[in-house]
Amino acid sequence: MKKILALLLTVVLLATCLVGCGTKGATLDDVKKAGKITIATSPDFPPFESLENGEVVGIEVEIMKLIAKDLGVECEFVQMDFDSVLIGIEAAKYNCAMSGITVTPDREKNMLFTKPYYVAAQAIVVKEDSAIKAKADLTGKKVSVQTGTTAESGCQDEGLEVMAFTANADAKAALTTGKVDAWVVDNLTAVQMVEEGDGLKILDENMTEEPYAFAFAKGSESLVEAIDASLQKYIADGTVEKIFEDFGEKYSKPE
């Protein structure tokens, strides 16, 4: 019996070791040796990430290209849905993740972050003729969100009935087709997608305010430090603000 228990303990310890080794994030040296940084992203989040002729473009793309140049490497953007971005970076499948990722205490338990580079707000979008005028009016209503986002968890925390979708375009469609009463999404994304038409408007009151940063797997401390140093340089010299302006957006700098 003792031999069996000892064997089982060995197996458990070995499995733990393998899992730990398999999920260790890339170091700065790893990235430099590879000559590239692999970045997980969900390109359905304009103006931060979107697709243009099959190419990933957006605010975060431009920021990351500058940072990669400082590191002396190329960017490789890997496309997937937002939920997979978070799962992939936790599992260290990629060197970095970006998709308007909010820093939260729960996420900080499972991944590393740069310092926030932008303060976002979760906007409430409704039909132009909606009776919903403020956040309080959402009580008892159904809202759409993108799966895995803080919009989803925030609405759930508020006790709202939530319909989650892989893509923001589908979350928006749920509102325009009357499946939900409101759609909660990042404010800049809301502005761009509401401008497409469909008879929608953004409420004056936001759902929440939250900081955005770039995410990394545990064990990537040296990489995070180098990227954050570059990022803070571009925040301080006004480059990040200029990138936002180039995309027609107002920059909200973290304090």
Q: Residue 99: give its domain's CATH number.
A: 3.40.190.10
3-state secondary structure of 109: coil
Claim to verify: residue 180 and residue 226 sit in the same structural domain: no
Average pLDDT over residues 115-143: 96
Is 111 within a domain? Answer: yes
Is 165 within a domain? Answer: yes
Claim to verify: residue 94 and residue 38 sit in the same structural domain: yes
Average pLDDT over residues 186-207: 93
H helix or E strand, kind and range, residue 112: strand 112-113
pLDDT higher than threshold 60 for residue 15: no
pLDDT higher than threshold 90 for residue 142: yes
Confidence (pLDDT) at 63: 99
- Amino acid type, 178: G
Average pLDDT over residues 29-58: 97
Claim to verify: residue 229 and residue 108 sit in the same structural domain: yes
Average pLDDT over residues 60-69: 99
Confidence (pLDDT) at 99: 96
Claim to verify: residue 35 and residue 152 sit in the same structural domain: no
Mark out the alpha helices in the chain (DSSP H runs): 2-22, 28-34, 59-71, 82-90, 105-108, 150-157, 168-176, 187-194, 221-236, 239-246
- Give me the number of domains the chain comprises: 2
Range of the domain at 172: 120-210
Claim to verify: residue 18 and residue 113 sit in the same structural domain: yes
Is 179 within a domain? Answer: yes
Task: Give the confidence band of 181 by pLDDT, cuts at 50, 70, 90.
Answer: very high
* CA–CA dist 121, 132 (Å, integer): 18
Is 47 within a domain? Answer: yes
| Cβ-contact 55, 223 below 8 angstroms | no
Number of CB atoms found within 10 A of residue 119's CB: 14
| Cβ-contact 155, 162 below 8 angstroms | yes
pLDDT mean across residues, the chain: 91
Is 84 within a domain? Answer: yes
* CA–CA dist 118, 82 (Å, integer): 19
Is 28 within a domain? Answer: yes
Confidence (pLDDT) at 178: 97
Q: pLDDT higher for 51 or 2?
A: 51
Average pLDDT over residues 66-82: 98
Is 253 within a domain? Answer: no
Claim to verify: residue 98 and residue 35 sit in the same structural domain: yes
pLDDT higher than threshold 80 for residue 190: yes
Confidence (pLDDT) at 21: 45
* CA–CA dist 71, 64 (Å, integer): 10
Say which residue the tokens 């409704």 belong to.
Answer: 126
- What is the percent of the chain where pLDDT is above 70? 91
Confidence (pLDDT) at 23: 62
Nearest to 43 by CA among 30, 23, 60: 60
pLDDT higher than threshold 70 for residue 180: yes
User: Hey, CA dihedral for 120, 98, 32, 239, is it positive or negative?
Assistant: negative
- Chain-centroid distance, C-alpha 48: 9
Claim to verify: residue 16 and residue 128 sit in the same structural domain: no
Q: Exposure of 131 by Cβ count < 10 A (0-12 exposed, 13-18 middle, 19+ buried)?
A: exposed
Task: Give the confidence band of 105 by pLDDT, cuts at 50, 70, 90.
Answer: very high
Claim to verify: residue 112 and residue 166 sit in the same structural domain: no
Claim to verify: residue 93 and residue 125 sit in the same structural domain: no
pLDDT higher than threshold 50 for residue 188: yes
Claim to verify: residue 16 and residue 110 sit in the same structural domain: yes
Claim to verify: residue 125 and residue 113 sit in the same structural domain: no
239-246 vs 59-71: helix crossing angle, rounded to 10: 140
Claim to verify: residue 144 and residue 113 sit in the same structural domain: no
Q: What backbone torsions phi and psi does residue 133 show, to the nearest 5 degrees?
A: -115, -20
Confidence (pLDDT) at 255: 81
Give tens-digit pLDDT for 200-219.
Answer: 999 999 999 899 999 999 99
H helix or E strand, kind and range, residue 143: strand 142-146
Is 217 within a domain? Answer: yes
